[in-house]
Structure 1
Amino acid sequence: MQARNSPSVASAILVICSGLLAACSTTGSVGGPARVPAPIRTAVTPRVVPEPVSVTPGSGAFVLASSASIVVDPGNMEVSRTAELLASLVRPSTGFAVPISTSGAPVRGAIVLRLSADTALGAEGYQLTVGADSVRITAHAPAGLFHGVQTLRQLLPPQIESHLALSRTAWTVPSVTITDRPRYSWRGAMLDVARHFFTVPEVKQYIDLLALYKLNVLHLHLADDQGWRIEIKSRPRLTSAGSVTQVGGGPGGYFTQDEYSDIVRYAQARYVTIVPEIDMPGHTNAALVGYPELSCSKRPPALYTGTEVGFSTLCANKEETYAFVDDVVREIAALTPGRYFHMGGDENPILSKEDYAKFVERTQDIVARHGKQMVGWEEIARARLHPTTIAQAWATDTVAAAAVQYGAKVILSPAKRTYLDMKYDQSTELGLTWAALIEVRDAYDWDPATYMKGVTDANIIGIEAPIWSETVRNITAAQYLAMPRLPALAEVAWTPQRARNWEGFSRRLATHAPRWNFLGVNYYRSPQIPW
C-alpha cells in the first residue's frame, strides 16, 4: 500500500550484479499459526536463519567428498527435483560429480532425502541429522525436504554458492540434529512490478532469495495507475495501451501469459506460491487508459508516470465493470495453480462506502466462482466478507479487527515493520519515509500475536513484506532494500516467538554476508549487525 502524496522518485544506484540462487519453500493450509513443539534450548549452530525450533549439536563433522552422492526413494518426482536442485548447487563449486541414486542402501558420504509417514512435522517441517558418515533429511511432505535442504545449504561453507570450481581441503558440515517447522503457514514477500517493471529473470532472482530463507509466498502486484503488467487475451488494450510506461517514464513492459506461467513454474519448483494481485477498484488508471468507458475517476484516464494515488477508480454501478473483472480473474486464475487471487481494494476515496462495499462483495463472488480464495488489503473489511477471505493488514488495528468478525484470516504487513521500500535511515539513497525509518532491528523486534488490537495469533495466517517500487528500478535496488531485512522478517514468520532474540539473530545474520557476496546479492551493511 502507498501513502498519498508519496515523495518523487529517487535515483537508483548502480550496484554489484545479482546472481541466481537455488532454493525451495511452500504454502501450507490456511488456519493461522502451526502448532510447534517448545524450543529446545541448546547451543545454537550460528549460521542458520531462520533459527530452527530445536538444535542439538553433535561431535565431529560430515565431510563432503568427491565420492558424495544423493540418495532418494524412487517414484517421487518432487523429491527427485529437490535432489537435483541440491546437486546443481554443489557440483559447480566442488567440482564433484554428486550422482543421484534411487536404489540400494545409502553409502558412506551420502546425503539422504527421505519422506516419512510421521505427521508430527506437518506439511513443511523436517528433521536434519548430520553425522560423520552421512547427512539425512526426513520430512512428511516434499516441501519439508526443500526446507531441510536450505538448512543444509546454510551449514555448508559459503563458498558452496560459487559458480566456479574452488579448491578447498574440505567441505565440512558440523554434526548436528535439527528438528524444525514453521510458526506460520503464510510467509511472504510482495514485489511491485507495476510502478517499475521487473523482467522474468529479475523476478526469478527474487524468488531465489525468498526460498533461501524459507519464505513461501511471492505476491506480485501486477497492475496500478502507472502500468498493467500481464497479458489478458480477452482484453488486449490492457497491455497495448496500459503497459507502455512506468514511474519516471521509460518503456514499462508486461508479462505474456507464457512468461507468467514460466514464473509460476519456477516458483512452484521451489515451493513458493505466486499470488497475483490486480488492484481494484482504485489504482486502475493504466487499465482505464485501455478501457475508459469503465472509468469513474476524478480525471480522464491518461498515461501516468507519477506516484500520487487515489485519483482513479472503476465504476461500481456498471455491469460492464463486472464483465471486465470476470475476464481478468478468469484468465489469471487459469494460469495460477495456487489457491489465492488478490483484488487489492485499497485507497479508494472516490466511491461511496456503499458502492465500494458492493464492488468488493461482487468481486469476492467472481473470485470464488473461478475457484480461488480472495485476498485484499485491509480496507476490504468495510464490506461483508466470506469466512474464507483473507485481509492484509497494513495500517490500522480497527479494519483488520473488523475482518476477524467475519471469520476471515489476517496477513500482517504493518508498514512500520515490514515495508521494505522504507529507508533504513535518513541517509539511505533509495526508498521512502512516509511510514517509518526501518532498520534491521525494527523489522525483527516485534511479535505478530500482540501487534494489533483485536487480532490474536489464532486469527493470523502469517506475515508478508511488501516492496513498493516508486524508487526501485531494478533487482539490485530491490535487493539492497530487502537485504538484510527480509531474513529478519523470515525469522519472525518461521521461528517460535520464545526462541527468538535480537542478539542471537544479529550474530547469525552476520555470517551470511560472505554467502551473499558469492551469490552476487546486493545488501545494506547495517551498523546494527556485527559483520
Structure 2
Amino acid sequence: MKKLFLIITCCFVTASTFAQNIISETESGDAEGSLVQTPCAIIPEPVSLMKKTGTFTLPENVIIQTTKSAELKQSIAYLSDRITTATGKFVSTLASSTHPTIKLILNAQDDTQLGAEGYKLNVNPTQVVITANKPAGIFYGVQSLLQLFPAEIESKELVKDIKWKASCVDVVDYPKLGWRGLMFDVARHFFTKQEVKQFIDDMVRYKFNLLHLHLADDEGWRIEIKGLPKLTEIGAWSVKKTGTFGDFIPPTPDEPRTYGGFYTQEDIKELVQYAQERFVNILPEIDVPGHSLAIIASYPELSCTPDAVNYKVRSGEKIMDWSRGAPPIALVDNTLCPANEKVYTFLDTVITQVAKLFPFEYIHMGGDEASHNFWEKNDQIKQLMQREGLKTIPQVQAYFEKRVEQIVMAKGKKFMGWDEILEGGVSPTAAVMSWRGMKYGIQAANDKHNVVMSPTDFAYLDYMQADAITEPKVYASLRLNKAYQFNPVPASVNAQYVIGGQANLWTEQVFTFRQVEYMLWPRAFAISESVWSPIEKKNWTNFVDRTEQHFKRLDFAEIKYSPAIYDPIFMVKRSADKQLMVELTPEIDGLDIYYSFDNSTPDRFYPKYTGALQVPKDANMLRVITYRGKQPIGRLISMPVADLQKRTK
C-alpha cells in the first residue's frame, strides 16, 4: 500500500512539475501578479534563436554590470529608462557585482561572425548576458531583450501587478545589410524636430540604422542655409490646405503663407547627435534639378523660365500632368536650369553647409522626375547642348548630375541620386537609390555602382495598405504581404554592390505624425526583416504571429499602426449573366468574414462569407467585418455598391 501511495504521489509531483515548466515558458505571474504571455516574438527575426526551459524574472533591484560604461552609455541609459519607466524597479550600473542581473560585454577580440552590429544574447533563469564586438551590437541586443519581456514593457507609465518574465533563450544575431533605412519626407509637410526624434526612437526598436531626410521639394525647403535667407523666409512656407493633396484649388494671392517651417542649423546638429546616440546615420537629400519649386520661388533667377518670378511654393495644387507617365509634363517649370552657372554657385553654397552639418559619408541629390518640356524649348539649354556636344535632353540632365557630383566630392562626400541619374550616362563613382522597381538597381549594381534598393513594388510606405475605401487615396497599394516579399539582394544582382535597402515614406497625403506612424507600422516590420534577417529565416505565417504580438507592444507604446491585415481584399467582377459579384479574401488565415446588404451593422450572427457574393439588385451598401472566433478583430467596412460597380469598368 505504501509503494502504491509513493507511486501515486511521485506521478502527481512529476505531473505538477511538468505543468509548472510548461507555464513558466509561456506565462508569468502568481498570486502577486497577473498572468502575462511572454512568447519569443522578436522582429526582425534573429539569425539564430534557441529557446531553453525556464524563464528569467527581473528582480526588484536590477544591476547592469559592465566594465565599459563609458562606451556603452547609450545602451545602459536606454535599457535603464525602459525598465524603470514601465516596471518601477531600481536600476544601477556597476563595474563588478557578485550577482549582476544583466551583463553587457564588449569582446576583447572581435568575433568575426558578429561584425560591427551583431550580438549574442543569453537569457538564463538568473541572469542575462549580451556580448558584442561594438557598442552598436550591444544596443541591438538590448532591443531584442526588451522584446522578450511582456508587451507592457513598452508602456510610458508604471504598470503594476505584472511579473516581469522573459523566456530563456540563446540568440546569435547580425544584420544582412549595413544600410537599413527609412526615408522620411519632411518637405511635403513639415514635421517638428521632436517628431523627427520620435521617428528615430520608433525605428531603432526594429534595428533600422539609416534615416533618409527628404529636405527639399516643391512644397518646402526645410534647412537653414547661411547666406541664402530666402530659402527659409519664402521657400519654407505655403498656404495650409485640407483635403486631398494634388487636387487643391490654387491659393489666391491674399491667402496667408504661414504653413510649414524649417530646421535651423542648430536643430540639425541636435538631430544628428540624437540619431548618433541611437546608432543611426542621417542621409540628407536636396532634390534637384526637378522638385525644386521652393528654391525657384525663393530665387527665380535659378530657373530657365522668365515667368518664374511669379512662382510660389506649392500648396498642393496641380503642377504636373502625369497622363503620359514619367517624366511628367510640367505645368510650371519646377526645375533648376542646367545651363545657368548661378545654379552651380548656389548648389556649392548649399552642399558646403550640408556637408558640414551631416557627418554621414553620402549626400543624396535627388535627380528624379525632372520634367524636360521647358528645357526642350529653352535657348540656354540649346546653347549648352551645342557647346558641350549633348545630343539628347537626358544627356543634359547627365551633364548636370556630373557637375553636382563634382561639387559633392569636393566637400569630401559621396554622391547619391535616384535611379533616373543612370539615364544619359553617369559617373562611375555615383551611387544609385533604385526606386522604379528592382531592375535599375540590378543594372546599376552589375555596372559596379553602389546601390540601395528602395523599390515601389515593396517599399513605398505612402501607398495605400488596405482597400481604398478605408485609406487616404493614393495611386497605388502595398499590402503587408507584398512588403514582406522584399528581397533587396536578388539572385541576379552583383551582391557586393548592394550596400543596403530601405523603405520610403512620402508625405503628400500624410498631414500628421499619427498618420506617419499608421503608414509605417506594420509594413516597416516587414522591411526591417527584409534588410536584417537571412532570407531563409523569413516565414509569412510566423511573421504574422509575431506582428500581432507587436501590435500589443505598439498599443502600450502609444504608437499608431494599421490594422489592415484584418481587412478583407475586395475583388469585383461580372458573372456570365452580368450580375455584380464580390469576392472577399482575408490577407491572413484564421479569420471569418460576416456581411450585410441591408444597411445594418453585421456581427458574427450575420451571414458568414463562404464564397463569391452576388450583390442584390436593389442593394446600395455592402458592410463587412472580420472575426477571430467570437471576437471582432477587423474594422467595420462600409462599401457603397456604386463603388463596386465602378471597379468593374
TM-score, length-scaled by structure 1: 0.87
User: Cα deviations across residues 221-275 of structure 1 (Å, max 9, x unaligned)?
Assistant: 0000111011001211110110012673761111111111111111111111110
User: Cα deviations across residues 158-201 of structure 1 (Å, max 9, x unaligned)?
Assistant: 11122222223521111100000011111111111111110111
Residue 133 of structure 1 and its aligned partner are, at CA, apart by 1.5
Question: CA 1:341–1:68 in 2, change beyond 3 Å: closer, same or farther?
Answer: same
126-135 vs 459-468, greater mean Cα deviation: 459-468
Q: Which of 547, 550, 557 lines up with 1:512 in the alignment?
A: 550
Q: In the alignment, residue 464 of structure 2 is paired with which amino acid?
A: K
310-319 vs 482-491, greater mean Cα deviation: 310-319
175-184 vs 352-361, greater mean Cα deviation: 352-361
Question: CA 1:414–1:398 in 2, change beyond 3 Å: closer, same or farther?
Answer: closer
Question: CA 1:66–1:428 in 2, change beyond 3 Å: closer, same or farther?
Answer: farther
- Name the SS for the 1:263 alignment partner: helix
Give me the whole-angstrom Cα distance separating, in 2, the residues matched to 1:308 and 1:218: 29
Question: Which residue does the alignment assign to 2:397?
Answer: 356
Q: Which of 482, 500, 504 lines up with 2:538 in the alignment?
A: 500
Give me the whole-angstrom Cα distance separating, in 1, the residues matched to 2:237 and 2:454: 30
Give me the whole-angstrom Cα distance separating, in 2, the residues matched to 1:455 and 1:262: 38
Give me the whole-angstrom Cα distance separating, in 1, the residues matched to 2:55 and 2:518: 34
* Residue 121 (structure 2) pairs with residue 113 (structure 1): no
200-209 vs 49-58, greater mean Cα deviation: 200-209
Question: Which residue does the alignment assign to 1:418?
Answer: 459
Question: Which residue does the alignment assign to 1:374?
Answer: 415
- Name the SS for the 1:176 alignment partner: strand
Matches within 5 A, 1:195-206: 195-206=188-199
Residue 365 of structure 1 and its aligned partner are, at CA, apart by 1.1
Residue 308 of structure 1 and its aligned partner are, at CA, apart by 4.2
Question: Which residue does the alignment assign to 1:53?
Answer: 47
Gaps of 5+ in 2: 1-37, 242-256, 321-329, 376-392, 567-586, 591-632, 634-649
314-323 vs 148-157, greater mean Cα deviation: 314-323
Question: Which residue does the alignment assign to 1:458?
Answer: 496
Give me the whole-angstrom Cα distance separating, in 2, the residues matched to 1:63 and 1:109: 13
Question: Which residue does the alignment assign to 2:244?
Answer: none
Give me the whole-angstrom Cα distance separating, in 2, the residues matched to 1:172 and 1:298: 68
Which ranges of 4 or more aligned residues in structure 1 deviate by more than 6 Å? Answer: none
- Name the SS for the 2:91 alignment partner: coil
Q: In the alignment, residue 499 of structure 2 is paired with which amino acid?
A: I
Give me the whole-angstrom Cα distance separating, in 2, the residues matched to 1:197 and 1:94: 35
Q: Which of 223, 226, 233 lines up with 1:230 in the alignment?
A: 223
Give me the whole-angstrom Cα distance separating, in 1, the residues matched to 2:91 and 2:362: 38
Q: Does the CA-based 8 Å contact 1:64-1:109 persist in structure 2?
A: no
Question: CA 1:500–1:471 in 2, change beyond 3 Å: closer, same or farther?
Answer: same
Q: Matched residue pairs, number?
A: 482
Residue 386 of structure 1 and its aligned partner are, at CA, apart by 4.5
Q: Which of 260, 264, 275 lines up with 2:283 in the alignment?
A: 275
Question: CA 1:282–1:169 in 2, change beyond 3 Å: closer, same or farther?
Answer: closer
Residue 337 of structure 1 and its aligned partner are, at CA, apart by 1.4
Residue 78 of structure 1 and its aligned partner are, at CA, apart by 3.5
Q: Does the CA-based 8 Å contact 1:183-1:494 persist in structure 2?
A: yes
User: Cα deviations across residues 356-375 of structure 1 (Å, max 9, x unaligned)?
Assistant: 01110011111111111111
Residue 296 of structure 1 and its aligned partner are, at CA, apart by 2.1
User: Cα deviations across residues 351-392 of structure 1 (Å, max 9, x unaligned)?
Assistant: 422220111001111111111111110011125444543211
Let me know the Cα RMSD of the aligned residues: 2.1
* Residue 527 (structure 2) pairs with residue 486 (structure 1): no
Q: Does the CA-based 8 Å contact 1:195-1:247 persist in structure 2?
A: no
- Name the SS for the 2:221 alignment partner: coil
Give me the whole-angstrom Cα distance separating, in 1, the residues matched to 2:233 and 2:151: 45
Question: CA 1:399–1:246 in 2, change beyond 3 Å: closer, same or farther?
Answer: farther
User: Cα deviations across residues 127-181 of structure 1 (Å, max 9, x unaligned)?
Assistant: 0000112111111111111110000011111111222222235211111000000
Question: CA 1:247–1:373 in 2, change beyond 3 Å: closer, same or farther?
Answer: farther
Give me the whole-angstrom Cα distance separating, in 2, the residues matched to 1:338 and 1:93: 34
Question: CA 1:348–1:465 in 2, change beyond 3 Å: closer, same or farther?
Answer: same
Question: CA 1:466–1:276 in 2, change beyond 3 Å: closer, same or farther?
Answer: same
- Name the SS for the 1:230 alignment partner: coil
Q: Which of 112, 119, 123 lines up with 2:116 in the alignment?
A: 123
Q: Does the CA-based 8 Å contact 2:480-2:526 persist in structure 1?
A: yes
Question: Which residue does the alignment assign to 2:232?
Answer: 239
Question: Which residue does the alignment assign to 2:75?
Answer: 82
Question: CA 1:232–1:92 in 2, change beyond 3 Å: closer, same or farther?
Answer: same
Give me the whole-angstrom Cα distance separating, in 1, the residues matched to 2:438 and 2:59: 54
TM-score, length-scaled by structure 2: 0.71
Give me the whole-angstrom Cα distance separating, in 2, the residues matched to 1:217 and 1:277: 13
Question: Which residue does the alignment assign to 2:486?
Answer: 446
Question: CA 1:407–1:280 in 2, change beyond 3 Å: closer, same or farther?
Answer: same
Question: Which residue does the alignment assign to 1:40?
Answer: none
Question: CA 1:297–1:159 in 2, change beyond 3 Å: closer, same or farther?
Answer: farther
Question: CA 1:426–1:261 in 2, change beyond 3 Å: closer, same or farther?
Answer: same
* Residue 270 (structure 2) pairs with residue 262 (structure 1): yes
Q: In the alignment, residue 232 of structure 2 is paired with which amino acid?
A: T
* Residue 139 (structure 2) pairs with residue 139 (structure 1): no
Calculate percent identity across the aligned residue pairs: 38
Q: Does the CA-based 8 Å contact 1:87-1:98 persist in structure 2?
A: yes
Residue 71 of structure 1 and its aligned partner are, at CA, apart by 1.3
Q: In the alignment, residue 114 of structure 2 is paired with which amino acid?
A: L
Gaps of 5+ in 1: 1-43
Larger RCO (alpha carbons 8 Å, 6+ apart): 1
Give me the whole-angstrom Cα distance separating, in 2, the residues matched to 1:326 and 1:483: 38
Residue 72 of structure 1 and its aligned partner are, at CA, apart by 1.6
User: Cα deviations across residues 15-44 of structure 1 (Å, max 9, x unaligned)?
Assistant: xxxxxxxxxxxxxxxxxxxxxxxxxxxxx9
Q: Does the CA-based 8 Å contact 1:244-1:251 persist in structure 2?
A: yes
Matches within 5 A, 1:174-193: 174-193=167-186
Q: Which of 343, 354, 377 lines up with 1:332 in the alignment?
A: 354
Give me the whole-angstrom Cα distance separating, in 2, the residues matched to 1:247 and 1:386: 41
User: Cα deviations across residues 290-311 of structure 1 (Å, max 9, x unaligned)?
Assistant: 1111112595232221254554
Q: In the alignment, residue 113 of structure 1 is paired with which amino acid?
A: L
